[in-house]
Structure 1
Amino acid sequence: MATATATTRRPPALLVFWRSTIGKKSVMAVTGLLFVAFLLAHMAGNLKIFFGPAEFDHYSSWLRMIGSPVLHSSWYLWGQRTVLVLALVLHVTAAVQLSKRDRRARPVRYAHGRRPRASFATHTMRWGGATLAAYLVWHILDLTAGVANQDFQEGHPYHNVVADFGVWWVNLIYIVALLMLGLHINHGFWSAAQTLGIRGATRDRAIKTTGTVLAVVITGGFLIVPIAVMAGWVS
Structure 2
Amino acid sequence: MHRLKDIIRIVEEQNKWRRRECLNLIASESVMSPLAEKYYASDFHGRYNEHSGPERHYCGTKYAYEIEELCNQLFRERFETPFADVRPISGAVANMVAYTAFTKPGDVIIALGIPNGAHVSSTQWGIAGARGLKSIDMFFDAKKMNIDVENTVKLIDKVKPRIVMFGASMFLFPEPVREIKERIDPKIKVVYDASHVFGLIYGEVFQEPLEEGADLITSSTHKT
TM-score by length of 1: 0.21
Relative to its length, the structure with more strand (as a share) is 2
| TM-score, length of structure 2 as denominator length | 0.22
Which structure's relative contact order is higher, taking Cα pairs within 8 Å and 6+ residues apart? 1
Q: Which has the larger radius of gyration?
A: 1
